[in-house]
C-alpha cells in the first residue's frame, strides 16, 4: 500500500531513524529519458517534468575529488548554518515535526534532527514529502501527517532557495488544502541557505556551495527526484520516487552527514552567540531572487522565468539534469565554483562572467526551440 511510510534500508541508504519517506516506491518503473529529449517535451507542454526522470549523473573521478574538497572546506560553514536554522525552529515550534521537501530538503532535515539531539537531547520526528512545481504538494502525505501529528508543529524544510518558486508553490498549495480539506499547515519554510531572500527561517543568506547540491541521489540516500505520473500513482496515494540501489558503490550520503555532524561541537558557541541577534521569522522577505531572475530573463531573452535558475544549488541542478544554454558566474566567486566549471566543461556549456550578479552563479536553460534542435545530442 502506498500510503505507508517508507524507511531505510528497504528504501534509501539512510538509517530507519533518520527519516520516514512519505513516498511510493516506483523503483521498478522505467522513467529515465535523455536530457535533451526530456527538455523538449517539458518545454513544449507534451509532458510535465514530474512525469519522467533525468538519467542519473554518475560523477567522474575528477568530479568526486571536487566533492571531497568542497565537503572538507565547507563542513564547518554548513554545520553553523544547520545550528542556526535548527535553533530558530526550536524557538518558534513547541514540538517541531520536521517535514523535508524531497529531495534537497532531506539531508538538511536529517542534519537538523541530529543538531537537536546533539545540542538539546531532543528526538525530533522527521519526514520527507513531495512538492511539485505547477502541481502542488502531496495531499495524501499531508493527511498522513495530520493523522499522526498536530499540524501546528510541522515545520517544512528545504536545502536552499533560488528565486523562490517552491516558497510560492508551498504557500499556494497549503492555502488550497486548508480551503478544500480544512487542514491548516503553516507555510513558513526553513532552509539552510536563502540567497533568494524569500524564506522565513534560514541558516544563512550567503550563496555558497552546499555539498549536498553537488550530486543527485548519491548524496541524498540514493533516492531519485520525486515522480507524479498518473500511470504509476493512484489517486490518494503518495507521490513516487525510485531507490537507486545500483549506485551504492558511489554513495556518499552518510559521509556528508557524518562529516558535517562531526563539526557540531566546534560551532555550538558561535551559534549560541549569534542566535539572539537573529530575527526568529522574517515576516517580509524582499524576494530579491525573484526580481533578479525576472531581470536576467529579460536581459537574455528567455520567455519563461522558470528557465532562469539562480544560485549555486540551482545552477548545479541545471547542469546535472537539464539542457543549459549558458552559465553566468560572478568573478569574485569563481574560486568556489570549481564543480560548476567542471560540469560546464564536460557538457560544453559556455560560461560568462557577470559582475553585477546578486548570486555566485546562475544557470540559464536553453529555450525549447533550441532544446529541440539539439535533441539526442546529450546523454
265 and 326 fall within a common domain: no
254 and 350 fall within a common domain: no
Q: Does residue 348 sit within a domain?
A: yes
Phi, psi of 202 (to 5 degrees): -155, 155
The set of cell numbers assigned to 76 is 564547518
Q: Does residue 282 sit within a domain?
A: no
171 and 51 fall within a common domain: yes
Sign of CA dihedral 63, 69, 73, 74: positive
Q: Does residue 4 sit within a domain?
A: no
**pLDDT at 277 (0 to 100):** 83
Q: Give 204's Cβ-side CA count (13 Å radius).
A: 15
Domain boundary among 222, 242, 277: 277
**pLDDT at 145 (0 to 100):** 98
Domain boundary among 246, 277, 308: 277
Of all helices (H) and strands (E), which one includes residue 100? strand 97-101
For residue 365, the cross-strand partners are 324
Please give, one letter per residue, the 3-state secondary structure of 117-172: HHHHCCCCCEEEECEECCCEECHHHHHHHHHHCCHHHEEEEEEECCCCHHHHHHHH
Q: Does residue 260 sit within a domain?
A: yes
Q: Does residue 114 sit within a domain?
A: yes
**pLDDT at 371 (0 to 100):** 44
How many whole angstroms from its chain centre is CA 180?
A: 27
114 and 195 fall within a common domain: yes
User: Number of folded domains in the chain?
Assistant: 2
**pLDDT at 374 (0 to 100):** 45
320 and 217 fall within a common domain: no
110 and 245 fall within a common domain: yes
Q: Does residue 315 sit within a domain?
A: yes
The pTM of the whole model exceeds 0.85: yes
Q: What is the mean pLDDT of each run of 10 residues along the chain (379 residues)?
A: 87 97 95 82 79 85 89 96 97 94 96 97 97 92 97 96 92 96 96 94 93 90 93 92 94 97 97 89 88 92 92 90 92 91 93 91 83 43
343 and 221 fall within a common domain: no
Q: Does residue 378 sit within a domain?
A: no
270 and 139 fall within a common domain: yes
324 and 253 fall within a common domain: no
**pLDDT at 369 (0 to 100):** 60
273 and 325 fall within a common domain: no
Q: Does residue 51 sit within a domain?
A: yes
197 and 108 fall within a common domain: yes
> In terms of Cα–Cα distance, which of 108, 135, 123 is closest to 17?
123
Q: Write the burial class of residue 187 (CB in 10 Å: 0-12 exposed, 13-18 middle, 19+ buried).
A: middle
308 and 174 fall within a common domain: no
Domain boundary among 277, 296, 322: 277
Q: What CA–CA distance (Å, rounded) separates 148 from 156?
A: 16
CATH number of the domain to which 326 belongs: 3.30.1330.30
Domain that holds residue 363: 288-373
Amino acid at each position: 500500500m502506498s500510503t505507508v511510510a517508507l524507511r531505510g534500508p528497504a528504501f534509501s541508504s539512510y538509517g530507519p531513524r533518520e527519516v520516514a519517506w512519505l513516498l511510493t516506491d516506483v523503483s521498478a518503473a522505467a522513467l529515465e529519458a535523455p536530457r535533451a529529449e526530456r527538455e523538449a517535451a517539458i518545454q513544449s507542454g507534451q509532458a510535465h517534468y514530474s512525469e519522467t526522470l533525468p538519467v542519473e549523473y554518475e560523477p567522474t573521478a575528477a568530479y568526486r575529488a571536487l566533492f571531497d574538497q568542497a565537503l572538507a572546506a565547507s563542513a564547518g560553514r554548513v554545520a553553523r548554518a544547520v545550528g542556526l536554522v535548527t535553533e530558530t525552529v526550536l524557538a518558534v515550534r513547541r514540538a517541531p515535526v520536521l517535514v523535508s521537501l524531497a529531495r534537497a530538503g532531506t539531508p538538511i532535515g536529517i542534519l537538523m534532527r541530529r543538531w537537536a539531539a546533539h545540542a538539546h537531547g531532543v528526538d525530533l520526528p522527521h519526514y520527507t514529502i513531495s512538492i511539485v512545481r505547477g502541481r502542488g504538494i502531496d495531499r495524501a502525505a499531508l493527511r498522513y501527517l495530520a493523522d499522526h501529528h498536530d499540524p501546528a508543529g510541522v515545520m517544512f524544510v528545504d536545502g536552499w532557495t533560488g528565486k523562490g518558486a517552491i516558497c510560492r508553490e508551498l504557500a499556494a498549495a497549503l492555502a488550497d488544502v486548508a480551503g478544500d480539506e480544512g487542514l491548516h499547515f503553516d507555510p513558513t519554510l526553513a532552509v539552510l541557505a536563502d540567497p533568494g531572500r524569500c524564506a522565513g527561517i534560514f541558516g544563512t543568506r550567503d550563496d555558497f556551495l552546499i555539498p549536498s547540491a553537488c550530486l543527485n541521489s548519491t548524496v541524498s540516500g540514493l533516492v531519485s527526484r520525486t515522480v507524479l505520473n498518473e500511470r504509476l500513482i493512484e489517486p490518494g496515494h503518495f507521490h513516487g520516487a525510485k531507490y537507486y540501489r545500483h549506485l551504492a558503490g558511489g554513495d556518499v550520503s552518510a559521509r556528508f552527514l557524518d562529516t558535517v555532524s562531526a563539526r557540531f561541537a566546534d560551532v555550538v558557541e558561535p551559534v549560541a552567540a549569534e542566535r539572539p541577534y537573529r530575527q526568529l521569522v522574517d515576516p517580509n522577505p524582499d524576494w530579491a531572487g525573484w526580481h533578479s531572475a525576472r531581470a536576467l530573463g529579460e536581459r537574455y531573452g528567455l520567455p519563461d522565468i522558470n528557465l532562469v535558475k539562480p544560485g549555486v544549488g540551482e545552477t548545479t541542478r541545471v547542469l546535472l539534469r537539464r539542457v543549459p544554454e549558458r552559465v553566468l558566474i560572478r568573478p569574485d566567486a569563481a574560486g568556489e565554483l570549481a564543480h560548476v566549471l567542471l560540469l560546464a566543461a564536460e557538457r560544453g556549456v559556455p560560461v560568462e562572467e557577470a559582475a553585477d550578479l546578486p548570486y555566485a552563479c546562475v544557470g540559464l536553460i536553453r529555450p525549447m526551440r533550441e532544446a529541440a534542435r539539439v535533441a539526442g545530442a546529450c546523454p
